[in-house]
Amino acid sequence: MKKRRHHYVWRNYLRSWSDNEQIWCARNKKVFPTNLMNIGQERDFYRLNELTKQEISFLTLLINQHTSEAIQKLNHGWVELFTAVFKIREQVNNHGLSDDEFEAEVEKQIINLGEDFHCGIEEGAIKFLDGLLDSGTNFLADEDNAIEFIHYLCVQYFRTKKMKESAASSVSQLGLIDMDKAWNILSHTFSTALAWSIYAERSQWSSVILENHTPSPFLTSDQPIINTYAAFDKQVKDHDELEFYYPLSPEKALLLTKKAEYKGMSSKSLNELEASAYNDIMIDMSHEQIYSFQKEQLEMYAQKI
């Protein structure tokens, strides 16, 4: 079966803000309740596209810029994975063996593969969400889970519509590649490279649970993981200008940071001013939608979108 609704925000993640699968959403300055199935998704968002030889050559050149041969190999694997179905179809057609059943299966794989892959990552990440929410587990210090945890965060950061459109805007004038066609591959190569960078420097990073028991609960959005350094149109230029903020529920959020003030800290209780500041950053970094479990809270913020 073809899966046409492709979610770029994980539904299971959003359940912390929902009641019986219903969540409050603000979009285009309007506040409304909706089912989790209807938000953070777009028809065929992860549909694969056949790339030209020139586009594949550009991806190869880009991947080979990384200093680690291991990361180069992993990222070439993404190219192979997401172009394989087109190579198989070409070979079958060249031998005159194609039929309607084969073409239907190819089309199903073109539509489903990207979405199915994200579903697999999400299933593996349930333990991370549960651990962070229940006990604030420091997966960064857990050798058995650290790389998978960091990779999950980076995938959630890059997989969204906002990141796709931002990347497309930045390269559109160069004419080197059609970002809409290549994003399925590029988002994974970016995620892999960034995850490796964080993992290699993990001793410098702190994983901090932010506790919010104020009258201003945490919001989330269709860009649920954000780099706080990039808020309010700030241009990020330095390697160390990265700090992940990831709200986990109305009462808890994850801060992944290199800032010295958080070294050795596992949790921090916020005051209302601090909680509101994080909400302001989340709204600024959202794309089209923000989410809350409170209608009144969204009505207060809706005009800022």
- Give the model's confidence band at 87: pLDDT under 50 very low, under 70 low, under 90 confident, else very high: very high
Strands 267-269 and 206-211, how do they pair?
A: parallel
Mean pLDDT, residues 171-186 taken together: 79
pLDDT at residue 34 in the model? 96
pLDDT at residue 175 in the model? 62
Mean pLDDT, residues 154-182 taken together: 84
Ramachandran region, residue 5 (left: φ > 0; alpha: ψ -120 to 50; beta: rest): beta
pLDDT at residue 136 in the model? 81
pLDDT at residue 174 in the model? 59
- Give the model's confidence band at 110: pLDDT under 50 very low, under 70 low, under 90 confident, else very high: very high
Mean pLDDT, residues 278-292 taken together: 96
Mean pLDDT, residues 186-203 taken together: 96
Mean pLDDT, residues 61-73 taken together: 95
- The least confident of 216-220, 232-236, 253-257 is 232-236
pLDDT at residue 305 in the model? 67
Mean pLDDT, residues 14-32 taken together: 95
Task: Look at 79 and 1; give whichever has higher pLDDT.
Answer: 79
Mean pLDDT, residues 217-226 taken together: 97
CA max distance for the chain: 68
Tell me how crowded residue 115 is: count the other CB atoms within 10 A of its CB: 20
- Give the model's confidence band at 100: pLDDT under 50 very low, under 70 low, under 90 confident, else very high: confident
- The answer, yes or no, to whether residue 120 has pLDDT greater than 80, is yes
> What SS3 class is residue 221?
strand
pLDDT at residue 173 in the model? 59
Indicate the average pLDDT of the chain. 91
- The least confident of 21-35, 106-120, 148-162, 163-177 is 163-177
Share of the chain above pLDDT 90, in %: 71
pLDDT at residue 253 in the model? 98
- The interaxial angle of helices 146-158 and 179-200, nearest 10 deg, is 150
Ramachandran region, residue 102 (left: φ > 0; alpha: ψ -120 to 50; beta: rest): alpha
- Answer yes or no: pTM beyond 0.85: yes
Q: Classify residue 251 by its DSSP letter.
A: S
- The answer, yes or no, to whether residue 79 has pLDDT greater than 80, is yes
d(CA 142, CA 132): 13
Burial of 10 (0-12, 13-18, 19+ CB in 10 A): buried
Q: Mark out the alpha helices in the chain (DSSP H runs).
A: 11-14, 53-63, 69-94, 100-135, 146-158, 161-171, 179-200, 272-285, 295-301
- Give the model's confidence band at 242: pLDDT under 50 very low, under 70 low, under 90 confident, else very high: very high
Write the pLDDT tens digit of every residue in 122-163: 999 999 999 999 988 889 888 889 999 999 999 999 999 999
d(CA 34, CA 32): 6
- Give the model's confidence band at 233: pLDDT under 50 very low, under 70 low, under 90 confident, else very high: confident
- The answer, yes or no, to whether residue 260 has pLDDT greater than 80, is yes
175 backbone dihedrals φ, ψ, rounded to 5°: 70, 20
Q: Where are the domains of the chain?
A: 6-304
